[in-house]
Structure 1
Amino acid sequence: MIAIELEDVLRALGCTVIGPVAKLVDAIELASTESLDAAILDVTIRGGQVFPVAEILLERDIPFVFASGYGDWALPENMRDRPRLTKPFTTVELEEQIKLLCAQAMKRKMR
């Protein structure tokens, strides 16, 4: 249900949604091969934690936000400064983060 709500909010903001992806191996493949402007990563994903996906996005300079109920202690040190939607988050908080990610994506494209 949460994934459907996220998709609805993202589409209402004009985003094209790729996903959701429930398995780590599939998320790694998508992050490695798809043309992405930005991503929302739930820290816990079937098959482990999403940090390998985050590393790929960092290497590709694709902005992302973590969705997590965990505190900083649960994130790798090099990712503790990444934006985070703290669960449970509101639609307004989601919209704010998406707007920030879109702004980052536009800056990236202009380089």
Structure 2
Amino acid sequence: MLDDLNILVVEDEALLAVDLSITLEDEGACVTGPCFSLDSAMETSASAVDAAVLDVDLRGTPVFPLADRLAAEGKPFVFHTGRADLCELRRRYGDDVPILIKPTRPEDLVRTLAAAVTAG
């Protein structure tokens, strides 16, 4: 479903990052990362990725600068978060950016990401 797409994974929990990466690779994607911090993610060229899965809070640092850059470049992304309050995400990015609440079933992640890429 994600054949030959280059997906950036930004997640600060190592085991979850590996699990996300395996799920995406099993669906045919090439994974960039995972990136465990905003700094390492920002070093990744947005032009080199087709889409991204973003944890919102990276050890206390919001992922918003990267999300803003991806949005400005027209790159689709999905928030994957454990946040209980989603108001700021909706205020900043509207209803068009999908938000998945941890834990997420692998098939939901794949389906949501594929839909975001198709819509983007």
TM-score (norm 1): 0.82
Distance 1:68 1:45 in 2: 10
Gaps of 5+ in 1: 106-111
For residue 46 of structure 1, report the CA deviation from its aligned partner.
3.6
SS at match of 1:67: strand
2:110 corresponds in structure 1 to 95
Higher relative helix content: 1
What RMSD in Å do the two structures reach over aligned CA positions? Answer: 1.8
**What letter matches 2:86 in structure 1?**
D
Distance 1:65 1:98 in 2: 6
TM-score (norm 2): 0.76
2:18 corresponds in structure 1 to 4
Contact 2:24 2:31 in 1 (8 A): yes
1:37 corresponds in structure 2 to 50
Moved over 2 A (4+): 73-76
2:63 corresponds in structure 1 to 50
71-80 or 47-56, larger mean C-alpha shift: 71-80
76-85 or 10-19, larger mean C-alpha shift: 76-85
1:108 corresponds in structure 2 to none
- Number of residue pairs matched? 104
SS at match of 2:113: helix
Higher relative strand content: 2
- What fraction of aligned residue pairs are identical, expressed as a percent? 35
Distance 2:86 2:65 in 1: 17
For residue 92 of structure 1, report the CA deviation from its aligned partner.
1.7
